[in-house]
Structure 1
């Protein structure tokens, strides 16, 4: 039942909190909401922030776009215009007509609109979010009882418009010569038609579940006018894009993910918005939501010093968690927000804060406020930072000087690893440190290891085309990369298409080439490998139970650069779960390779990326691997294994073995150099304790020098 219109008018408390930047549910009254007036007439109540203007009218198809028919009334303070319009039903197109003090007319979409006209249209649509019957109560209850730091975190990053499509025919009108714009053209023709939210609820959910991912991360779903922005230049922060359906259909998609046990992370863009005239840009004829233009992207950057802007943005983050049951928010472009001079090379244009530094104090305060608010209202929703600098304490609580995120993308790991992987094999020994450097800082923050969309666009090439060698070596390199990512400490993220080793870069205007896995054995093997690797990860707590604690990782041998081999241990909370990892980044297989192991006993190989079923050469270790009383790698015992070419393997102690009596001479035998352990720069994080204002994170402890 629609609320009484009188309850939607803003109170003095609402206006006060809005101006302070602390009205965290501003979406409940701002924008367009179904209502009933005192006369019993049904319609919609409208409210929009537009200070210092002459007037604001609502125009739309309900009144023939009559610019004088439906004026709104301004509040005594705060610059909010509101009013009730009878007779409007759901699905009506509307805009705000704003008359500026300079006499200009601005036709604006609703900043708080829940639904938008399908592009190329730019109007908002009335829509009632109430009434969807969620079926995920058990899932949400289970989520609230889990510790996000001690469960699998393996994310499948997806662009909903180009995961799959119906057909592949070019859309729109051809050029005069009969061809369609394609790669290299500024506006390529769309190929095929979009999947709907309902299609995705059926097919994407089933695929991600079958592949063994724990979460799906959706590139920005907020309304945006240009497909080529991928959603990162929004106009409608509260509107799930109408390209794929209406908001309730998007709710159904998330509900379906939860029914399958998949979490949903939403990409969120609080750094800036597009310059389109119908959007937030110069909303009242002057800069209102923004305070400057980004020097690189030409987007308008939010003015975080304004309380109304903070209320708008913090409410928006909470909106997706509250109304759409999002499991996580990935904050885009955090570095561009934190630094006042991000992207500015000319020293004459640089600005500094009152402390004489480049930190944007308003932006960092806003980030802490957002994370604290989410921690207060939805403590089980993860907050993730895309932050590429050495900014300290990103994943520490605000009260301890941190920014308050739960996780941070490890861009250093990504850059170093891809640099190493594209190095040709004879030169890899000289770049060996690129493989091991990340372990110097891997527990300084709660890191996620990203192989995201940014690594397969704009001329960077796809992942597989970066791999040196012939086709066999390229596919083996892809398996070794995925294996290294999965066995490294931290969470994991992969963009769609990585799992089939697509050769072309990602193209937003067409679907991923999943036909490759259907028609070509090499791509099918890659897909099967990723599926099995994901499932192996899920089944072995040593790979995720201590993924953010220094006790979860220990080197066996980090320094075998000559052979391009690394060996290490991943530990869970139960010693019986511990795994021994070996990865060979060279193309040569090695027989009778001796390696130290942590305990005396019998070992078995559980997983090998060179398995023939994955397209490998079949250099595997069958049967039992018995320890020998020969010290190696600083360990008292060792085993001899077959090392597969350009591949990784997982060993586990599965049995006991009687140890022979120690000989006096053995005690004096010169062992290899002592194994290096991951430096413990702080005590184990107590992540199960709840901290005021945010959910559990690492305590602020003194770290050594940051190595990022």
Structure 2
């Protein structure tokens, strides 16, 4: 049966992915199979003429719907025998009983106006007679109660958006941010304060895109937002739904796009707070048995082959796009979705490991559906995949045999830098390995490069600046102190960022505060650390203090980002030319677009380098400039008869316009 199906699939799928990467030819059947499953699932869900945009409207049907003279509430709980809507608006009594409908849908129409702000739950009677209380699955808001569990809250957000989302005319320059830790105070920050205090910083630093983490409601703050309970609810820790709408609207008015860090790879295990055993069964939203459990994360895993689950998750994506005006998504945990073993302990050293029998084709199909839906709703939306496995076709169009993401994260690069800083000395930096790591991509696929994100600073690790400076960061970062450790740290922090920024992708990402060398690590208040906020905040005053050297790194990052604004070179991948690489001298030079980059990674010696250039170069950026905490300009250059002669100071880089 499978062989026959594959022949059919090959006739309907233009496998241009093979034109990008001929080494995939032995896996043509697998690629055809995933495309066929995508087409077959669409037909099953939509019929002949339907669209995903019309299909993904669950939030217009389920949950609370305000109508002309009444409110209608619907919930899907197929294994329940009775259902009631209860809350403090009816003293948690059983007088609002829902009617059973087709397919396990329960419904009630309530005359008049439901009181906004009331706590609410669905009370279900299960087949075994047990009574359970659940937060409505489409709840837009949930708050903790006195038993440290979540209650749904009836909300009807009223906010008039004033600003259109800006078009992206250059590479995405992404500022990864977490609202809760964005204050310097020992507390959780709010959407409103982030709008007032942090958005102007992001704008002034030159980033054009914000990636917001931990927005979807999650009971455990220290999960960093990656154990979601309520997929349609904004985190109540940070404020009201209208506050988030205002944040996004204000960002749009500043010319900033906003992406949601969306978590569809798994869900929190808590029973009562979220979806787990919602109707008393383990199979309503998730796989049964071991396949429904993530052993490493202790979370539940969605059944992406179930129509109701696909409807729920796709509706969730459309909800965030249309109700909150997000401009796209960074999909978390994609590797876990792609493989039946979730990629745990797997080294993806050959192409066979990407395909059957380990591929979760249902999950791949869901991701293809998600990307098609998102771009139907908003053709200008941006989607980014967090996939450590480098699955072929992840960021190729579906019509070309890909999964449809716009970008994939260059996840190996931060690991390369941390390994270098942890295990090797500066003179052991292998420039050929560095070049390979920064420039090797899946053919035809665009990447988001980054030196470090939030992942590298979580408990057990440190920021790059902390690895470089260690204890001297506490005592020697004032402008009057002398420290060879700090001199090295500042110099390498700049070189690491510049080479990563310019080579590692067609876009760039930075985690909040790391641009100025934020010290230490990330940790959330929890029982194990005595609910301490020391590491769950951002010390902006370090960068704002004119007597501290953090200001130099901030100025450097601003001017580095400005290179893309002025020259739009990040997307010029085809123009990349390696001009020089010599590992013994630690010299690297390359041209991208009309910019020439030259690096001297040597820790001790200035180095001479001559390069042929047709046009007279113009120096536009020098990492050794005193305004970036350097000692120069110490490097020098001259141009004569088509030859650029350089003398580069140790641990410095220069950028020329040619």
TM-score w.r.t. structure 1 length? Answer: 0.76
Return the index of the structure with the highest Cα Rg: 1
Cα deviation code 1:560-601 (max 9, x no counterpart): 101112100011xxxxxx01101222223525x2221332x3
- Deviation of 1:638 after TM superposition, in Å, equals 2.3
Equivalent residue for 1:124, pick from 112, 134, 152: 152
In structure 1, the residue matched to 2:161 is: 134
Asked if structure 2 preserves the Cα contact closer than 8 Å seen for 1:328 and 1:381, the reply is yes
Asked if structure 1 preserves the Cα contact closer than 8 Å seen for 2:45 and 2:307, the reply is no
Asked if structure 1 preserves the Cα contact closer than 8 Å seen for 2:431 and 2:588, the reply is no
* Residues 442 and 214 (structure 1), Cα distance of their counterparts in 2 relative to 1, 3 Å cut: farther
Cα distance in 1 between the residues matched to 2:423 and 2:492: 11
In structure 1, the residue matched to 2:473 is: none
Q: Give unmatched runs, 5+ long, in structure 2.
A: 1-43, 347-351, 470-483, 525-532
Residue 400 in structure 1 maps to residue 394 in structure 2: no
- Partner SS, residue 340 of structure 2: coil
- Matches for 1:182-221 after TM superposition, within 5 Å: 191-192=186-187, 194-221=188-215
Asked if structure 2 preserves the Cα contact closer than 8 Å seen for 1:619 and 1:645, the reply is no
Cα distance in 2 between the residues matched to 1:116 and 1:563: 59
In structure 1, the residue matched to 2:6 is: none
Residue 413 in structure 1 maps to residue 413 in structure 2: yes
Cα distance in 2 between the residues matched to 1:555 and 1:431: 12
Residue 285 in structure 1 maps to residue 280 in structure 2: yes
- Matches for 1:17-32 after TM superposition, within 5 Å: 23-32=55-64
Cα distance in 2 between the residues matched to 1:452 and 1:36: 47
In structure 2, the residue matched to 1:583 is: 599
Equivalent residue for 1:567, pick from 589, 605, 608: 589
* Residues 80 and 487 (structure 1), Cα distance of their counterparts in 2 relative to 1, 3 Å cut: same
In structure 1, the residue matched to 2:540 is: 514
Equivalent residue for 1:613, pick from 619, 627, 634: 627
Aligned CA-pair RMSD: 2.6
- Deviation of 1:297 after TM superposition, in Å, equals 0.4
- Matches for 1:68-87 after TM superposition, within 5 Å: 68-75=94-101, 77-86=102-111, 87=113
- Deviation of 1:23 after TM superposition, in Å, equals 2.7
Asked if structure 2 preserves the Cα contact closer than 8 Å seen for 1:94 and 1:126, the reply is yes
Asked if structure 2 preserves the Cα contact closer than 8 Å seen for 1:367 and 1:403, the reply is yes
Cα deviation code 1:3-29 (max 9, x no counterpart): xxxxxxxxxxxx986999973111011
Asked if structure 2 preserves the Cα contact closer than 8 Å seen for 1:220 and 1:269, the reply is no
Cα distance in 2 between the residues matched to 1:428 and 1:403: 38
- Partner SS, residue 97 of structure 2: coil
- Partner SS, residue 155 of structure 1: strand
* Residues 33 and 117 (structure 1), Cα distance of their counterparts in 2 relative to 1, 3 Å cut: farther
Cα deviation code 1:441-478 (max 9, x no counterpart): 37542100132100111212221132377121012111
In structure 2, the residue matched to 1:438 is: 438
Asked if structure 2 preserves the Cα contact closer than 8 Å seen for 1:295 and 1:343, the reply is no
- Deviation of 1:431 after TM superposition, in Å, equals 6.2
Residue 93 in structure 1 maps to residue 113 in structure 2: no
* Residues 331 and 128 (structure 1), Cα distance of their counterparts in 2 relative to 1, 3 Å cut: same
Cα distance in 2 between the residues matched to 1:442 and 1:640: 35
In structure 2, the residue matched to 1:690 is: none
Cα deviation code 1:179-199 (max 9, x no counterpart): xxxxxxxxxxxx32x332121
- Partner SS, residue 289 of structure 1: coil
Cα distance in 1 between the residues matched to 2:617 and 2:51: 62
- Matches for 1:593-672 after TM superposition, within 5 Å: 593-599=608-614, 601-621=615-635, 625-628=638-641, 637-653=642-658
Cα deviation code 1:522-571 (max 9, x no counterpart): 11211121122222332222x23x34x423x11101x3101112100011
* Residues 585 and 280 (structure 1), Cα distance of their counterparts in 2 relative to 1, 3 Å cut: same
- Partner SS, residue 324 of structure 1: coil
Cα distance in 2 between the residues matched to 1:204 and 1:97: 41
Asked if structure 2 preserves the Cα contact closer than 8 Å seen for 1:589 and 1:619, the reply is no
In structure 2, the residue matched to 1:349 is: none
Residue 269 in structure 1 maps to residue 263 in structure 2: yes
- Partner SS, residue 301 of structure 2: strand
* Residues 274 and 568 (structure 1), Cα distance of their counterparts in 2 relative to 1, 3 Å cut: same
Cα deviation code 1:297-351 (max 9, x no counterpart): 01101111110110110111111111111112011000000000125569xxxxx
* Residues 606 and 109 (structure 1), Cα distance of their counterparts in 2 relative to 1, 3 Å cut: same
- Matches for 1:351-500 after TM superposition, within 5 Å: 356-422=356-422, 424-425=424-425, 427-430=427-430, 432-441=432-441, 444-450=444-450, 451-467=452-468, 470-488=485-503, 489-500=505-516
- Partner SS, residue 78 of structure 1: helix
Residue 160 in structure 1 maps to residue 179 in structure 2: yes
Cα distance in 1 between the residues matched to 2:439 and 2:345: 32
* Residues 296 and 423 (structure 1), Cα distance of their counterparts in 2 relative to 1, 3 Å cut: closer
Asked if structure 1 preserves the Cα contact closer than 8 Å seen for 2:328 and 2:374, the reply is no
Cα distance in 2 between the residues matched to 1:345 and 1:494: 27
* Residues 561 and 320 (structure 1), Cα distance of their counterparts in 2 relative to 1, 3 Å cut: same
- Deviation of 1:392 after TM superposition, in Å, equals 0.4
Cα deviation code 1:24-78 (max 9, x no counterpart): 11101111122344xxxx5x32111100211111110101111x22110111x21
* Residues 501 and 229 (structure 1), Cα distance of their counterparts in 2 relative to 1, 3 Å cut: same
* Residues 431 and 423 (structure 1), Cα distance of their counterparts in 2 relative to 1, 3 Å cut: farther
- Partner SS, residue 379 of structure 1: coil
Paired residues, number = 570
Cα distance in 2 between the residues matched to 1:83 and 1:415: 53
Farther off after superposition, 582-591 or 321-330: 582-591
Cα distance in 2 between the residues matched to 1:613 and 1:107: 60
Cα distance in 1 between the residues matched to 2:610 and 2:422: 27
- Partner SS, residue 335 of structure 2: helix
Equivalent residue for 1:103, pick from 126, 129, 152: 129
Q: Give unmatched runs, 5+ long, in structure 1.
A: 1-14, 168-190, 347-351, 572-577, 629-636, 654-708
Asked if structure 2 preserves the Cα contact closer than 8 Å seen for 1:221 and 1:241, the reply is yes
In structure 2, the residue matched to 1:340 is: 340
- Partner SS, residue 67 of structure 2: strand
- Deviation of 1:423 after TM superposition, in Å, equals 5.5
Cα distance in 2 between the residues matched to 1:273 and 1:319: 18
- Partner SS, residue 373 of structure 2: helix
* Residues 359 and 268 (structure 1), Cα distance of their counterparts in 2 relative to 1, 3 Å cut: same
Cα deviation code 1:464-518 (max 9, x no counterpart): 1323771210121111111112221421101112112122102334311222224
- Partner SS, residue 602 of structure 2: coil
Which one has the bigger helix percentage?
A: 2
Cα distance in 1 between the residues matched to 2:117 and 2:250: 25
- Deviation of 1:603 after TM superposition, in Å, equals 1.8
Cα distance in 1 between the residues matched to 2:122 and 2:159: 28
Residue 60 in structure 1 maps to residue 76 in structure 2: no
Residue 556 in structure 1 maps to residue 569 in structure 2: no
* Residues 99 and 236 (structure 1), Cα distance of their counterparts in 2 relative to 1, 3 Å cut: same
Cα deviation code 1:599-630 (max 9, x no counterpart): 2x3222110111111111113457x73234xx
